[in-house]
Amino acid sequence: MRKLTVIWMILVVGIIVLVFPDNKVYSETNDTEVEEIDIAISPSGALFEIDNMKPGDWAPRSLFIQNNGQEDFEYQMTIENQGSEKLFNELVLELSDGTNLLYNGKLAEFEQLSDRKLTSSSEEELDITVRFPEHLGNEFQGLDTTFSLSFTAEGAETAASNDHDEATVAGAIGSDGGGGSILPVTATNVYKFLLIGVLLVGSGALVFILNKRKQIQKQQV
C-alpha cells in the first residue's frame, strides 16, 4: 500500500511539472530585487473606456507615472491608433502636468511628449482630457476607436544605452451608439486545470486498479 501511495505522489508531481513547465521558484532575495529602470503607470489597464460620447462631451482623466527603479530616468509618451481612423482623427487631446499645458490639439497629430525626468522612487501626475468636438455631425454617430498610450523610460545618465523599460495603457471611445469597448482578455487557465483533473482521476483509478489486483492475488494465494 505504501508503494502505491509513493507511485501516486510521483504521478501528481509529474503532472504539475508537465502542465506548468514555465513555473519558477524564486528566493526571497529575487522577490525583493529592484530593477535599475522600472516605469509603472496607474491606472494600468484602461484609461478611457467610453461608449456614449457625443459632440461637445469631454473626458478628463488623471494618470500617475511612477519610477519604481533604482535609477533616475527620462520618459516619453507616444499614442498609437489601433482602431478606426475617422473618429480618431477628429478627437482632441489636452495634456498637462497640473501646472503647464504640454499639448492641446488633435489626438492623431500628437507625436511624442518631450522627455520628462523622474527621480527614483517618485511619481508625477499627468492630466489627460479627450474632447469630442462640437462641430462633428451625424456622420460620426455610432463610430468608435481604440488607441494606446505607450511610455518608454531610459536611464537619465545612460539614455543612449539599452537600459530601458516600457508601460502601456489603453483607451477606447465610441460615439453615441458606438461600441467603445476594449477587447476582453480571453486567455484562461481553465483548460490546464481541467487537464490536471483528468490526469489526477486517471492516476487515482490506476492506483485503485493496481491495489485491487494485489488484493485479489493475496486472496487467491
Name the residue with higher pLDDT: 129 or 220: 129
The pLDDT tens digits of the residues spanning 71-97 come to 999 999 999 998 889 999 999 999 999
Q: Report the 10 Å Cβ neighbour count for 168.
A: 13
Angle subtended at Cα 144 by Cα 141 and Cα 149, rounded to the nearest 5 degrees: 145
134: Cβ–Cβ under 8 A, 6 or more apart, which residues? 55, 56
pTM: 0.61
Give the mean pLDDT of the chain.
78
For residue 14, name the pLDDT band (cuts at 50, 70, 90). Answer: low
DSSP string, 180-214: --PPPP---SHHHHHHHHHHHHHHHHHHHHHHHHH
Q: Exposed, middle or buried, 23 (CB in 10 Å: 0-12/13-18/19+)?
A: exposed
Looking at the chain, the whole-number percentage of residues with pLDDT higher than 70 is 71
Q: Tell me, what's the pLDDT at 176?
A: 63
Q: What is the mean pLDDT of residues 114-136?
A: 92
pLDDT at residue 19 greater than cutoff 80? no
